[in-house]
Amino acid sequence: MKIISYNVNGIRSATSKNFLGWLQATNADMVCLQEVKALPEQLAEILELISQMGYHHYWHPAEKKGYSGVAILTKIKPNHVEVGCGEEWIDREGRILRADFDDFSLMSLYMPSGSSGDERQTKKYEFMRFFEGYVAGLREQIPNLIISGDYNICHTAMDIHNPKSNANSSGFLPEERAWMQLFLDNGFIDTFRHFNKDPHHYTWWSFRANSRAKNLGWRIDYHLATAPLLNRLKSVRILPDAVHSDHCPVLLELV
Domains detected in the chain = 2-254 (3.60.10.10)
Q: What is the mean pLDDT of residues 65-82?
A: 98
Catalytic residue among 91, 100, 103, 150: 150
SS3 (DSSP) at 84 = coil
Kindly give the interhelix angle for 19-26 and 44-52, rounded to the nearest 10 degrees.
20
Q: Tell me the average pLDDT across 74-86.
A: 98
Is 29 tagged catalytic? no
For the sheet with 80-83, list strands across it: 80-83, 96-100, 105-110, 145-150, 221-226, 188-190
- For 1-34, the pLDDT digits (tens) are 999 999 999 999 999 999 999 999 999 999 999 9
pLDDT per residue over 105-156, tens digit each? 999 999 999 988 999 999 999 999 999 999 999 999 999 999 999 999 999 9
Which residue blocks in the chain are alpha helix, DSSP H?
Answer: 11-15, 19-26, 44-52, 88-92, 118-141, 174-185, 191-195
Residue type, 105: S
Q: Are strands 204-205 and 96-100 parallel, antiparallel or unpaired?
A: unpaired
CA distance linking residue 102 with residue 206, whole number of Å: 39
Please tell me the distance from the alpha carbon of residue 146 to that of residue 128, in angstroms, as a whole number: 17
Residue-wise pLDDT for 225-252, tens only, equals 999 999 999 999 999 999 999 999 999 9
Are 68 and 94 in contact by the 8 Å Cβ rule? The answer is yes
Residue 82 backbone dihedrals phi, psi, to 5 degrees: -105, 115
Note the pTM of the prediction, 2 decimals: 0.98
Sheet of strand 70-74, all strands in order from the earlier edge strand to the far edge: 56-60, 70-74, 30-34, 2-7, 250-254, 233-238
Distance set, CA 237 to CA 41, 56, 96, 193, 240 (Å):
33, 24, 23, 10, 9
Cβ atoms of 99 and 60 closer than 8 Å? no
